[in-house]
Amino acid sequence: MTSLSAEAIICAVRTHGEHGAILRALTKEAGLVAGYVRGGRSRRLRPLLVPGNLVALELRGRTEEQLGGATIELLESRAQLLAEPLAAAALDWVTSLTAATLPESQPYPALYSALSAVLDAIGVASSARQWAAALARYELLLLAELGFGLNLEECVVTGFSTDLAFVSPKSGGAVSVGAAAGYEERLFRLPPFLRGQDANPPMDDILDGLIITGHFLDRDVLDGRNRDLLTVRERLTARLGRAVA
């Protein structure tokens, strides 16, 4: 018999059978886990099984390979965010991305903390600019945790750490102003906040950051195959773009 008792962020829910549901949730110590919730489609449990919700999760199974039975107790609801289209799109994307890309049962404590911070920011921020930067940083961290980290600390051409202003779409490395001369249109612009240099970046910089992380998520993690998930992100970035206009 295996068991787990932990706080968890619900990342995905799908129906199973006539009455049940399978949830995937991120925990700090055990990583992404899955479990079957008996009666998950009931009127009582449906409001609890919302991606983004923080729950106390009890997971029990006969073996580690078997899908365990799960029970949950709501600790914090984020269901109210679904009433605001931009916040709902952000919630949908960040939880779906987490569920789709992380391998199960591998701990990612930094990602757990970062995801929690992004969701908190979406819930309390008065404008998208206050949480969209955290979202871009989360995507950057997820790339690094999955082995596709970008080198934004030194120029991929010169090896120096000064005047970094671009990112190569091929190598994922930063490029200095001098090294980029004549090739600027082939490179991504590097916004300072991705290097921790601007705590309150303008929305244009945030969108540039999301272009960078989106490119490498599509190429290296999603591999262009999860069209539905990419559509969720495109919907989010389009809404953010309209927020700037």
Pairing of strands 151-155, 173-176: parallel
Domain CATH for 233: 1.20.1440.120
204 and 172 in a single domain? The answer is: yes
Please indicate, yes or no, whether residues 54 and 175 belong to a single structural domain of this protein.
no
Residues 13 and 56 placed together within one structural domain of the fold = yes
Looking at residue 63, its pLDDT comes to 62
- Give me the pLDDT at residue 65, please: 65
- Domain shared by 194 and 100, yes or no: yes
Residues 110 and 231 in one domain: yes
Quick one: 58 and 87 in the same domain?
Answer: no
Q: What percent of the chain lies above the pLDDT cut of 90?
A: 70
pLDDT for the residue numbered 22: 94
**Which of 77, 108, 131 is the C-terminal boundary of a domain?**
77
d(CA 78, CA 40): 18
Q: Indicate the burial class of 41 (C-beta count within 10 angstroms; 0-12, 13-18, 19 or more).
A: middle
CATH number of residue 34's parent domain: 2.40.50.140
Report the domain count for the chain.
Answer: 2
* Mean pLDDT on 231-244: 85
Residue-wise burial string across 110-145, b where 16 or more C-beta atoms lie within 10 A, e elsewhere: ebbebbbebbebbbeeeebbebbbbbbbbbbbbbeb
The reply to whether 28 and 17 lie within a common domain is yes
Give the pLDDT confidence score for residue 1 in this predicted structure.
47
Do 183 and 235 sit in the same domain of this protein? yes
Q: Of 44, 62, 77, which residue constitutes the final position of a domain?
A: 77
- Domain range for 43 is 2-77
Predicted model pTM: 0.92
Mark whether 54 and 101 lie in a shared domain. no
Of 243 and 91, the structure prediction assigns the larger pLDDT to: 91
**The last residue of a domain, from among 54, 77, 100:** 77
CA distance 159 to 163: 11
Residues 73 and 105 in one domain: no
Same-domain check for residues 134 and 63: no
Evaluated on CA atoms 204, 9, 121, 199, the torsion sign reads: negative
Q: Same domain, yes or no, for 123 and 96?
A: yes
pLDDT tens-digit series, residues 41-100: 788 888 899 999 999 999 987 666 678 899 999 999 999 998 888 899 999 999 999 999
- Residues 93 and 189: their CA atoms lie apart, in Å, by 23
